[in-house]
């Protein structure tokens, strides 16, 4: 916002004011979700995230075997 000229700020404000109803609802939902996340202060992993207690993924095991770190042989 600080880098926009006065003309650009006026144009952006006009766009925001005249946004379609569905866009306003989406923005409101997004802001509500962000506020909820800020208040909860807990991390929620995604649906495919590794969780403690799960076995290590096979792909990770294979990548670890072929690591680039020098090994004492």
Give yes or no for a contact between 33 and 26, defined as CB atoms under 8 angstroms apart: no
pTM for the full model?
Answer: 0.36
Q: Token pair for residue 55?
A: 């076995």
**Which pLDDT belongs to residue 47?**
75
- d(C-alpha 32, C-alpha 10), whole Å: 26
Give yes or no for a contact between 9 and 1, defined as CB atoms under 8 angstroms apart: yes
pLDDT under 50: residue ranges of the chain: none
**Which pLDDT belongs to residue 8?**
92
Q: Token pair for residue 64?
A: 């670890």
- d(C-alpha 9, C-alpha 3), whole Å: 9
């Amino acid at each position: 916002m600080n880098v926009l000229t006065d003309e650009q700020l006026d144009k952006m404000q006009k766009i925001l004011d005249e946004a379609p109803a569905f866009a306003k609802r989406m923005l409101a939902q997004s802001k509500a979700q962000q506020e909820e996340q800020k208040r909860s202060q807990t991390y929620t992993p995604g649906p495919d995230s590794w969780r403690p207690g799960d076995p290590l993924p096979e792909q990770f095991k294979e990548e670890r075997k072929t690591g680039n770190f020098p090994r004492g042989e």
